[in-house]
Amino acid sequence: MSVQIISSGKKPQYAVIPYDEWCKIQDRLEDLEDIAEARMLSARIASGEDETFPGGLVDRLLSGEHPLAVWRDYRGITGAALASACGVSAPAISQIECGKRDPSASLLKRLATALRCNMDDLMPAAD
């Protein structure tokens, strides 16, 4: 690498390098940042602090299936067990999943807690 050092007095002030070498340095720094971010994400997943989701879950959500049904199925919880955990009836869960009933904010919070997801994750997409 060819570098020109510009000094003021006896102290170096600037380093001048060819532009294409500067671009290579920037690319390498971006690669190192990406590697550090990937390692951090992998550590969060390994510790349980973060979670990944299979493509099938995403496909079902994108297809328009009710998110509550998708998340409940993904977590392996029956409608009756979810209802019991949230203090409502099994038919109430079924009605929500069929779009015949909207959950209250407090019920939505209990559902999200039981399914270990965000409240927003349980809301159907707007038409």
Average pLDDT for consecutive 10-residue bins of the chain (127 residues)? 88 93 96 97 92 93 94 96 96 95 95 96 84
Which residue type, as a one-letter code, is found at position 26? Q
CA dist 89 → 16, 83, 92 (Å): 72, 5, 5
Q: How far apart are CA 29 and CA 35, in angstroms?
A: 10
What is the pLDDT, as a whole number, of residue 16? 94
What is the pLDDT, as a whole number, of residue 82? 97
What is the pLDDT, as a whole number, of residue 127? 63
List, in sequence order, every beta strand (DSSP E) within 1-127. Answer: 4-8, 11-16
- DSSP secondary structure letter of residue 10: T
